[in-house]
Structure 1
Amino acid sequence: MRKGGYAQRKLQLLSDITATVRPGVLTALMGPSGAGKTTLLDVLAGRKTIGCIEGEIRVSGYPKVQETFARISGYCEQTDIHSPQITVKESLIFSASLRLPACVDSKIKIKFVQEVIETIELDDVKDALVGIPGLSGLSSEQRKRLTIAVELVANPSIIFMDEPTSSLDARAAAIVMRAVKNVVDTGRTIVCTIHQPSIDIFEAFDELIFLRTGGSLIYCGPLGQHSSRVIEYFETIPGLPKIKDNCNPATWMLEVTSASIEAELGIDFAKIYKNSALYEINKELVRQLSTPPPGSRDLHFPTQFSQNFWGQFKYCLWKLQLSYWRSPSYNLMRLLHTIVVSLTLGILFWKQGMKIHNQQNLFNIFGSMYGAVIFLGTNSGSAVQPFVATERIVMYRERFARMYSSWAYALAQVAIEVPYLFSQAVVFVIITYSMIGYYGSAYKVFWYFYAIFSTLLYFNFLGMLLVSLTPAVAIAGALTSACYPMLNLFSGFLIPKPKIPRWWIWLYYMTPTSWTLNCLLSSQYGDVNDKIMVFTETTTMASLLEDYFGFRHDHLAISAVILFFYPLIFSSLFAFFITRLNFERR
């Protein structure tokens, strides 16, 4: 573009912001839509993932180090994101366990959680499930207070809140602000973005940082009693209309500082602020606070996270286990699906497992194995995706808060699936093996179970992998639907291996379902030398498998190794991409 003569354009969202926030002070970050309130909040909190940031942020006089700052700060998003199948108290215990220092005893952490519950006034709902917004669980106001509590149990020094009263009615907003004031009274620093607050909410703040459209600072200072200080400041500007009786100061400020008023009066509010005595006071305050107190040292943590990797994995697994156990729509339904498929196949192929007299009998049994792989596998791969997508959104918030590493979360997400998939495999094998009547050998039963269990694993982890590669579950579902025909076509059932053209045979070897069917059929019949009729000729069952399907019993170990590595590869790729790819743009 530059070579073609086009200049690179940059959109500046914030311009020359100099301000302070202090302990025990509730600061409002206000301005019209497009003023850059949330942008400034994200910059201060270190949540900006795109764009170029210039300037300096100091904490207690020292340059801000994001890795350290994330451990001592909290961020309450405008959208309240929590795991829906966890109770309020469990959500707080999870946050406290991972964010408070590892040296703090678990009993003390639980006691601290209870204190936070009382401070944020969540006693009445502490055992209620969080639920899905608008469908079940907590109300909007309770959900917002939970968001604040989740950050507060980390014992942060500063908390950022993005429009904590948005979409709440007057009563709910008042309850939330009462909780916020309770937090400020503990000596913490709180910065909130607000848009058009009511009088009561606006005057609950101690100080105001006011931005105009374009991201310029036009006021930074105390509100005063009944907003007297900020009203006095703007009323001294020539030409601005005075505030009327019983008028909301916040609404009045937004009206009199609009771009149209600036154009009409021919003034620049940003320049007026920079030429004011208030600006000089703030400059001096910034200068004082930019110098570390004598004898102090910059805060430093020896590790990136409060808990070691094992502790992170343990708590992530604990939370996921609770979520899975309370999700019958997912786990019970896939178990019922397994039972239905098992019974259907068992009825259709009743006691046909050892009645192989000709090639058609063998084709029928092979068809039952193929049906089991496709029906169970595709359901497993698709059913897991909505659950993983929901938890991934929560993971983004928790990972930013330095609760745990992405690898610990990914390992827990993989591990929690294993016992449920194992149960599915056991149920399927018990039903189909006895009903279809396969050979009653422990050796053959083991291989049958191993192939089915491996299949459920790699289909499930493939579904999780595709979620990690895409920004939305709908896209992951579409991509999954595109993968299934390949897993079907090159499985070796529709087109046997010897009949696949040489230039396509590599796809057969790369398709995991081909190795599953190879393992299932070879383990059952690859070592059986009974005579069967094949198109008026007599041959052994093992010879038919090798000649027609390309399956050999002595290659069973190769199939076993490959079936072991496919779940391992898919789960590792899931962990890698869930770590590397971040679809949450800020």
Structure 2
Amino acid sequence: MVGDAMRRGISGGEKKRLTTGEMMIGPSKALFMDEISTGLDSSTTFQVLSCLQQLAQVLEYTVLVSLLQPAPETYELFDDIILMAEGKIVYHGPRSCILNFFESCGFKCPRRKGAADFLQEVLSKKDQEQFWSLGDETYNFVTVDHFCERFKACNVGENLAMELLKPFAKAHNSALSFSIYSLSKWELLRVCFAREFLLMKRNAFIYKSKSLQVSLVAALTGTVFLRRHLSDDRTRANSYMSSLFFALIFLIVNGLPEIAMTLKRLPVFYKQRDCCFYPAWAYAIPAFFTKIPVSLVESIIWTCITYYLIGYAPQASRFFRQLLVLFLMHSTALSLFRCVVSYCQTAPVSSVGSTLSLLFILLCGGFVIPRTSMPNWLKWVFWISPMSYGEISLTGNEFLTPRWKKVMVSGDTIGKSILMDRGLDFSSIFYWISVGALIVFILLLNIGFTIGLTTIRPPGTSQALVSRDKLTIIQGKDFEDMVNKRPKLSKANMDTPNIIGKAIPFKPLAISFRDVNYYVDAPMATREKGYAGGKLQLLHNITGAFEPGVLSVIMGVTGAGKTTLLDVLAGRKTEGIIEGDIRIGGYRKVQETFARISGYCEQTDVHAPQITVWESVVFSAWLRLPTEMDPEIRHDFVKEVLETIELDEVRDTLVGLPGANGLSTEQRKRLTIAIELVSNPSIIFLDEPTSGLDARAAAIVMRAVKNVAVTGRTVACTIHQPSIEIFEAFDQLMLIKRGGKLIYAGPLGHNSCKVIQYFQAIPGVPMIKENYNPSTWMLEVTSPSTEAYLGVDLAQIYRESSLYKENDAMVKQLMIPSPETSDLHFLTQFPQKFWEQFKACLWKQCLSHWRSPSYNLVRIVFVALSCLLFGVLYWQQGNIEHINDQKGLFTILGSMYCTTLYIGIKNSQAVMPFVSVERPVMYRERFAGMYSPWAYSFAQLAMEIPYVAVQVLVFLFIAYPMIGYEWTATKLLWFFYTMFCTLLYFLYLGMMVVSLTPNSQLALIVSSMCFITQNLMAGFIVPGPKIPKWWIWLYHMAPTSWTLNVLFTTQFLYNDDKNIMVSGEVIPMTSFVKNNFGYSRDLLPLAAVMLAIFPVLFGTIFAYNVAKLNFQRR
């Protein structure tokens, strides 16, 4: 499995190779590849680029590659070089001529420096001077524009200009390809079908969960509407009408998980569509047809369980006709949600679009508002709601049977009377007309889905930032002074410590470990290939140590186990079996204490997207530095860290989402390091700190890391493809081969002499070439292919070497505590008190919410739009003077049911992706020991309160007067209180469900189960007094039942003189409502208390789950 941030899968380097391989396989003759070496070791990068070189030279491919830190041997593979700076081409021509060009400009590449590193640094104002070769002339900064002019004037530039001036040969066949896609239409469809079935198989748990959910809700529905007597009277007919309506609602809402599943796949679809893997229709058709079995199975389950429990018409033909309609309604719902996602594209907007669609379908479907009660100028909307046709066909299928032919006093049959009340009195032929209409809806929605996938561009990305330096130039300030204040990149400067470690005291500590093993469950694919054991060993008896003041590096080929070792030592693994002895300062490691004195920069840069660089680092410092520290010292420390990592230029920039907006890859990497550095750790682990960085940015980062080590801290890094300078900045090397076996641990020596001597002493190992990168040579001579060619086991050679014995003796010594030292101990688990943690988390949540208009503004706009819709459809029907009969009362109760349920569901759906995005960040911060999960949870809960209050105020100002509710202070306050508690408990319910589930798809399934239960037990579809006694407890547990109770009671049950017409008889409204719905003023105090209890209960469960559950698999 590829995996993601929450699911364990292949390594970062393997993912990058997978992306490269995906693009190389196919008929494309032009390959454009951006930073394909990120996450790969230098040996693997060389192999990949060698393959691309063969494609270019042998098969005549056109290959354009951008690289960040190419090793010299990788750089030598290229024929032409395009060097860019400030959006301008500085050089474009043969690789062999580029160094001569810069020598002609007065700059020379040093002997032990890679040409690629030189080319990136020579254009930088901060680093250019060190390469000046004309000693007899005064150095002045050479601008990019000057280099461009020199290039145009040189032979290479002139030749390029002449080549571009040549006209296109008209005789040449200009068609690069005669077909857009590699396969025929039939083959494209077949391959996409095969992939859909494979994904369904991999997501079998989701579909099994949905089937179980359908079974449980069907059993609940069947027993709620259970036929307990044989009489077919009007009361029973109303119950049947409600049960049919609920069946439609359930099968529509049950399609909501399709939103998350489609959204998750959209980025991959857009990539493959734009690369002409397949057209949109080849994706859309299988997406529809593969869901037909799902719709069929769920409809069969529902119909088989409910049909005879409820006691519908006993004829077999009626059973299958109901099954057909439910199947079509479920297919319509899935098609609708896929269509909405194809146009909305993002989770917040899709949530709004889907909920508005649901609301429209529900309100115009003929049950909540009967067709006869709709305003005349709006009755046409009844015919554009799919639910209308579902209602017509299902009710006609049931109420036009002989059992409902009994004639009433009015002269109409019971069936005809029920259908007339709802405006559904159509002839039997309308069953097939409705079936045809639903099929047309399915076709139109899938056509719309296909058009959306074909025409809509993927969500725009923007990572263009204006730095503070560039802004200074724009504002006309003195840029020269700002630049001169920055340190230059030079080898001498790599050894210059700064304020880090001087301003704040810390305790130097060594970490030692012996015989560390790590096992995970063998993947199913591995077992199918004949792997006998149930466990897969990823680390084999790793023994070593990292000492204070020593900069250590862990290296190995991609997938060797470098990150795994760091995760095990740092205590970040959440599954698997760890064996071995790990000690800190000679004492056994205690994870809670270790988190206080350590920092871990993960390979994946996980940050809150809606806060700035400065705020991210301040937040870390606020929570991780000692309480007694003076705020000014903390502020200065944060400022110095940002300057050291060179992030102060973008300190006010929002972090953003990876690959979408905000910081670039290398800026995110430096932010990760800055967040850990401000914690003032004694031990710091950095996993791939230079991955995704260009040579200059990597040098900046490694200079900062070197400075940290010089202060006496213990620093260990994993690294893939270091330049010579970066590699030789390390003091100690730990080399791991594939399979997690140690093959070298010891010093590098001057110019890597110790490492070179060790491996060249092994018979058959080739000598290193002059000026060759030692790290690349080392990885090449220790690769599995070289090891197999030499017929040796490098791990065994190391275990038998004198170096291993020296290391073993050193580890034994470090594992014995010094007499003058004591074990680490802190009075509190966290650096800050609980209240301080809460304030910091609330501050961060406040910033994130305020800068998330796609979440907060969208849900407020949704409330405003919903209010307008409610106000138009229920115009003045809430005026007590207009409620004169049972139908009017039922209609206004329906308005309360719709407003509370569907605005509440929207709140719940909107918060789920927001909390899901924050969850990986919370896991990182919790592992780092920043705060108690309870403080984080309570801050997140508290931050939602003002936004919910705004939603309620919007409702009060728009829908309240339009519907015609009474404007009195008491009723306004009751309405505000009720709606506030309702929207809050729905929102906290969504947060609670996310905290209970590992992914968004399962969260939507669980939440839809909750929504359906609250829908059924709200007291509208089935009034409380009519619910069977074995389910009455569930009615009282449903929050929506208390909401409707309070809303209706406070609005209409304080007028004892109000009478209504019921079946030709005038009776007091209070007595009718009490007998039929169970609402009365006596229950109001209890109902008000229950409304306050539910948000507290759901919020507490959310906080408990956040504290106790961890769904991150590492």
- TM > 0.5: yes
Cα deviation digits, residues 15-55 of structure 1 (max 9, x gap): 22221212222211111233221111111112122222222
Work out whether 1:521 is the aligned partner of 2:1057: no
Aligned to 2:1015: 488
Distance 1:106 1:548, change over 3 A: same
Correspondence for 1:536 among 1064, 1073, 1080: 1064
The AA in structure 2 aligned to 1:492 is G
Distance 1:8 1:231, change over 3 A: closer
Correspondence for 1:391 among 909, 918, 922: 918
* d(CA) in 1 for partners of 2:1046, 2:764: 86
Q: What pairs with 1:38-53 in structure 2 (closer than 5 Å)?
A: 38-53=563-578
Work out whether 1:354 is the aligned partner of 2:845: no
Distance 1:430 1:142, change over 3 A: same
Cα deviation digits, residues 87-112 of structure 1 (max 9, x gap): 11111111011001111122221111
The answer (yes or no) to whether the contact 1:25–1:206 under 8 Å persists in 2 is: yes
Work out whether 1:55 is the aligned partner of 2:580: yes
Work out whether 1:447 is the aligned partner of 2:974: yes
Q: Helix, strand or coil: the match of 2:818?
A: coil
Aligned to 1:106: 631
Q: Helix, strand or coil: the match of 1:82?
A: coil
Aligned to 1:382: 909
The answer (yes or no) to whether the contact 1:119–1:182 under 8 Å persists in 2 is: no
Aligned to 1:3: none
What's the offset of the Cα at 1:492?
1.4
Q: What pairs with 1:243-282 in structure 2 (closer than 5 Å)?
A: 243-282=768-807
What's the offset of the Cα at 1:493?
1.3
* d(CA) in 2 for partners of 1:540, 1:229: 98
Q: Helix, strand or coil: the match of 1:27?
A: strand
Aligned to 2:216: none
* d(CA) in 2 for partners of 1:250, 1:100: 37
Cα deviation digits, residues 359-398 of structure 1 (max 9, x gap): 2222222122112112210110001111111111110000
Work out whether 1:309 is the aligned partner of 2:826: no
Work out whether 1:585 is the aligned partner of 2:1113: yes
More divergent stretch after superposition (48-57 vs 96-105): 48-57
Q: Helix, strand or coil: the match of 2:684?
A: strand
Calculate percent identity across the aligned residue pairs: 60
* d(CA) in 2 for partners of 1:424, 1:65: 47
Work out whether 1:128 is the aligned partner of 2:656: no
The answer (yes or no) to whether the contact 1:522–1:553 under 8 Å persists in 2 is: yes
Correspondence for 2:1000 among 470, 473, 479: 473
What's the offset of the Cα at 1:177?
2.5
What's the offset of the Cα at 1:507?
2.9
* d(CA) in 2 for partners of 1:25, 1:464: 45
Aligned to 1:418: 945
The answer (yes or no) to whether the contact 2:880–2:1052 under 8 Å persists in 1 is: no
The answer (yes or no) to whether the contact 2:768–2:777 under 8 Å persists in 1 is: yes
What's the offset of the Cα at 1:179?
3.1
Work out whether 1:320 is the aligned partner of 2:845: yes
The answer (yes or no) to whether the contact 1:121–1:179 under 8 Å persists in 2 is: no
Q: What pairs with 1:497-508 in structure 2 (closer than 5 Å)?
A: 497-508=1024-1035
Cα deviation digits, residues 107-164 of structure 1 (max 9, x gap): 2211111111111111101111111111111111111010000000000011101112
Correspondence for 2:691 among 152, 162, 166: 166
* d(CA) in 2 for partners of 1:568, 1:461: 9
Aligned to 2:705: 180
Aligned to 1:569: 1097
Correspondence for 2:890 among 343, 360, 363: 363
What's the offset of the Cα at 1:254?
2.1
* d(CA) in 2 for partners of 1:47, 1:423: 41
* d(CA) in 1 for partners of 2:596, 2:716: 17
The answer for unaligned runs of 5 or more in structure 2 is 1-530
More divergent stretch after superposition (194-203 vs 534-543): 194-203
The AA in structure 1 aligned to 2:880 is M
* d(CA) in 1 for partners of 2:532, 2:691: 39
* d(CA) in 2 for partners of 1:200, 1:320: 42
The AA in structure 1 aligned to 2:645 is I
The AA in structure 2 aligned to 1:29 is I
Q: Helix, strand or coil: the match of 1:12?
A: strand
Work out whether 1:81 is the aligned partner of 2:609: no
* d(CA) in 1 for partners of 2:657, 2:889: 50
* d(CA) in 2 for partners of 1:149, 1:262: 39
Correspondence for 1:223 among 739, 745, 748: 748
The AA in structure 2 aligned to 1:279 is Y
The answer (yes or no) to whether the contact 2:666–2:692 under 8 Å persists in 1 is: no
Larger Rg, first or second structure (1 or 2): 2
The AA in structure 1 aligned to 2:1063 is F
The AA in structure 2 aligned to 1:277 is S
The answer (yes or no) to whether the contact 1:470–1:476 under 8 Å persists in 2 is: yes
The aligned length equals: 581
The answer for unaligned runs of 5 or more in structure 1 is 1-5
The AA in structure 2 aligned to 1:194 is I
The answer (yes or no) to whether the contact 2:949–2:980 under 8 Å persists in 1 is: yes
Q: What pairs with 1:7-22 in structure 2 (closer than 5 Å)?
A: 9-22=534-547
Aligned to 2:927: 400
The answer (yes or no) to whether the contact 2:645–2:700 under 8 Å persists in 1 is: no
What's the offset of the Cα at 1:7?
9.4
The answer (yes or no) to whether the contact 1:120–1:182 under 8 Å persists in 2 is: no
* d(CA) in 2 for partners of 1:508, 1:224: 75
More divergent stretch after superposition (556-565 vs 78-87): 556-565
The answer (yes or no) to whether the contact 1:406–1:579 under 8 Å persists in 2 is: yes
Q: Helix, strand or coil: the match of 2:1112?
A: coil
Q: What pairs with 1:129-148 in structure 2 (closer than 5 Å)?
A: 129-148=654-673
Higher relative contact order (Cα pairs below 8 Å, separated by 6+ residues): 1
* d(CA) in 2 for partners of 1:59, 1:373: 56
The answer (yes or no) to whether the contact 2:593–2:825 under 8 Å persists in 1 is: yes
The answer (yes or no) to whether the contact 2:613–2:655 under 8 Å persists in 1 is: yes
More divergent stretch after superposition (232-241 vs 147-156): 232-241
Cα deviation digits, residues 440-481 of structure 1 (max 9, x gap): 333222222221111101110111011111122233223323
Aligned to 1:194: 719
* d(CA) in 1 for partners of 2:834, 2:534: 43
* d(CA) in 2 for partners of 1:430, 1:463: 26
* d(CA) in 2 for partners of 1:137, 1:109: 26
What's the offset of the Cα at 1:314?
0.9
What's the offset of the Cα at 1:8?
7.1
The answer (yes or no) to whether the contact 2:685–2:717 under 8 Å persists in 1 is: yes
Q: Helix, strand or coil: the match of 2:542?
A: coil
Q: Helix, strand or coil: the match of 2:633?
A: helix
What's the offset of the Cα at 1:70?
0.9
Cα deviation digits, residues 204-231 of structure 1 (max 9, x gap): 3221001122222111111122221101
* d(CA) in 2 for partners of 1:68, 1:456: 41
The AA in structure 1 aligned to 2:886 is Q
What's the offset of the Cα at 1:411?
0.7
Work out whether 1:549 is the aligned partner of 2:1074: no
CA root-mean-square deviation: 1.9
Cα deviation digits, residues 224-253 of structure 1 (max 9, x gap): 222211011000011222223343322222
* d(CA) in 2 for partners of 1:480, 1:314: 30
Correspondence for 1:295 among 820, 836, 843: 820
The answer (yes or no) to whether the contact 1:381–1:461 under 8 Å persists in 2 is: yes
Aligned to 1:91: 616
